[in-house]
Amino acid sequence: MAATTGLGVGRKGGILFDLGGTLFIYGDMEKAWSDWLQALHSSFVSHGLKESIDSFAARCDGFFGKPEPPRVEGLTVFETRIQALATEAGLSIANDRVGEIETSVLGAWWSHLSLDPEAPDVLSKLRSHYALALVSNFDHPKHLYEILDHHELTQFFDAIVISGEAGVKKPDPRIMFLALDSLGLAPESCIYVGDIEDDERCALSAGMRTITIDRRREGEEPPLLDFLVPKDPVENQPQVAWRPLERIQALEELLVILDDA
């Protein structure tokens, strides 16, 4: 977790951002998860796995939604999940080889996300008046820092809080309080900008204003955020459509909203 205390002093307040789906735009996420599965299966095959990809997919169903396995010293949460999956599949993979698997798998998935072209300009303009922080759920912080550095985004943030380092994740508001403490700001002086319901719930629970960026077209389903084996729809199951309290469709709208305020 990167942070410097007291950076909110003398500024209007703080703007905290999510990353995936907010500063980065999701592409074809069904293809992203298909490539994720293929990369993970191929890596396991190279370590002796004989299982078909269809059978292996069933093992991976809800991969990130499963309870976190006991942490292994020196491994991130994501790498620990990979080790737990390998053990379940009857494989023995040395800890120092897990990083190679992680690089392949996350690279395949992240290739379907792209930086919002408005993001650098919006962040630059906001930074002149607000303390900025990034608060993201991500199980492999090293990869996230590499993404931020590659796109030259690190420079904009006074604090970076990643769940894989913090040990707590959204919608638990404690992850927001870590960022607020780093900025030296009270929640009522801050806004959280995210893209899903958990973002909104987390920020509201922490006492913050929340703005949700929703780039979906009319009738478009929300992006798939975990690997899930396709299932038959349950007949007559009621669908409750979540609608954010305050919504924008483009990052530049933040500048208008905050200028008006």
Q: What pLDDT, on the 0 to 100 scale, is given for residue 68? A: 87
pLDDT > 90 fraction of the chain, expressed in percent and rounded = 80
Query: CA of 154: how far to CAs of 8, 108, 147, 161, 191, in Å?
Result: 17, 23, 9, 12, 19
Q: State pTM to two decimals.
A: 0.90
3-class state of residue 75 by DSSP: coil
Query: What does pLDDT average to over the chain?
Result: 91
- pLDDT for the residue 242: 78
Token readout for 71 is 């942490």
Q: How confident is the model at residue 47 (pLDDT cuts 50, 70, 90)?
A: very high
Q: Which of 12-26, 66-80, 158-172, 176-190 has the lowest mean pLDDT?
A: 66-80
Least confident of 58-62, 105-109, 197-201, 228-232: 228-232
Q: 3.40.50.1000, 3.40.50.720, 2.40.50.100, 3.40.50.2300: which CATH number matches 2-26+114-260?
A: 3.40.50.1000
Ordered by start, the domain boundaries in the chain are 2-26+114-260, 29-110
Q: How high is the pLDDT of residue 217? A: 81
What is residue 239's predicted lDDT score, i.e. its pLDDT?
Answer: 57
Query: 142, 174 in Cβ contact below 8 A?
Result: no
Asked whether the bond before 173 is cis by omega within 30 degrees of 0, the reply is no
| Pick from 91, 42, 37: nearest CA to 229 | 37
Residue 6 is predicted with a pLDDT of: 47
Residue 4 has pLDDT above 60, yes or no: no
Specify the higher pLDDT residue, 92 or 219: 92
* CA–CA dist 146, 154 (Å, integer): 10
DSSP annotation of 61: T
Residue 128 has pLDDT above 60, yes or no: yes
Q: Are 220 and 240 in contact (CB under 8 A)?
A: no
- Give me the numbers of helices (H) and strands (E) for the chain, helices first please: 10, 9
Query: Is the model's pLDDT at 221 over the cut of 90?
Result: no
Say if residue 2's pLDDT is above 70.
no
Sign of CA dihedral 184, 190, 195, 198: positive
